[in-house]
Amino acid sequence: MNQQEIRNYIETYFRAFDSPFITETPSYFTVQLPVEVDKDLGNRPFYWSYVEKIGIEPNPLQLTFVFEPDSLPEGLRGEELPYGSRRLHQIFDSAKKHGKFVRLYEDTENPVGRPRSSFPLVPWLGVNYKAEFICDQKKDMLLSLGINLISGSVVADFYQTVQSLALTPKLPDYTFTMQPIFGIDSAVERIEAYISRELEQHDTKWAEYALKRLEEEKALVESYYGEEANRQESTEEQESERLEKQRKLLVEKNTRLQELAWQFEPRIQVSALNIGLFYLRTPLPS
């Protein structure tokens, strides 16, 4: 990430928390932290423990982030955010913690000519998944899926679709939410069945190549330890010593084969990154 991308990201992060921006310039901005953000970024757990124990009015921090240090006013101090910095990782972790679940409503105007009566919003469950194709190499694939909790239809690229809609965390005026027919558990089962079908159609050459490399590595191990075993057979050591060395070689070989299996055997792991309930008025293509 370059500095502009970092700035865009953290501005989006603070606006998601309705954090007031005290000062905004091309070279820096100063933001007032809400309480939940201060707890994540302020590095003062003892202060918050004291505030919550005594019940006093909290005083969250203000932070200044610098993006063009050569253009700062004299005497202004702030934090630079190079990629990989501790503060930026704190912001990533906070976003991940608070962004695991959202509930959003589509905010649209009442149709022209329609009486100002309530209109329904259809519930959708949206889940972003990461599918990891793992062997001695690794490839990730992101899947954004949504399921209509009334009809049960599943759509792909759900996040990309709802990005274009006007969404709000509060139920808009003149709207009401429809009662879901599908519960969360049954909806997730349908989504996971959809993912299974998608993965079954995925090209399997990566797995075939991985298994071939595994067999080649196992052959090398078998050859090496076979030679070592033969060498032990030809020594003039006592039988007990020779058997002990052969036992150790067998243990080493089995351990190495287990390591190779863990490293090379192809497998797919699917995990949910975040999940949300979306109440939409706009119909989505099935």
pLDDT tens digits, one per residue of 202-254: 999 999 999 999 999 999 998 888 887 777 666 656 677 777 888 888 899 99
Last residue of a domain, one of 74, 98, 122: 98
Cα three-residue angle 239-241-244, rounded to 5 degrees: 110
Q: Are residues 147 and 214 in the same domain?
A: no
Q: Are residues 43 and 166 in the same domain?
A: no
- Give the range of the structural domain holding residue 61, as residue numbers without chain letter: 3-98
* CA torsion, ordered 237, 240, 245, 249, to nearest 10 deg: 130
- pTM score of the predicted model: 0.69
Residue pLDDT, tens place only, 21-45: 999 999 999 999 999 999 999 999 9
On the question of pLDDT at 111 being above 60, the answer is no
In single-letter form, the type of residue at position 218 comes to K
Strand partners, 260: none
Q: Where are the alpha helices (DSSP H) in 28-143?
A: 35-41, 45-54, 86-98
- Whether 286 is in a domain gets the answer no
Q: Are residues 31 and 67 in the same domain?
A: yes
Q: Are residues 52 and 174 in the same domain?
A: no
Q: Are residues 87 and 111 in the same domain?
A: no
Strand partners, 146: 126, 155
Mean pLDDT of the chain: 89
- Whether 8 is in a domain gets the answer yes
Residue pLDDT, tens place only, 32-88: 999 999 999 999 999 999 999 999 999 999 999 999 988 888 889 999 999 989 999
Strand partners, 141: 131
Q: pLDDT band at 284, cuts 50/70/90?
A: confident
Q: Are residues 111 and 198 in the same domain?
A: yes
Last residue of a domain, one of 43, 77, 98: 98
- Whether 285 is in a domain gets the answer no
How is residue 117 written in tokens?
């009566």
Q: Residue 115: what pLDDT?
A: 57
Q: Where are the alpha helices (DSSP H) in the chain?
A: 3-16, 35-41, 45-54, 86-98, 158-162, 184-200, 205-233, 239-264
How is residue 242 written in tokens?
């020779």
Q: Are residues 189 and 108 in the same domain?
A: yes
Count the domains in the chain: 3
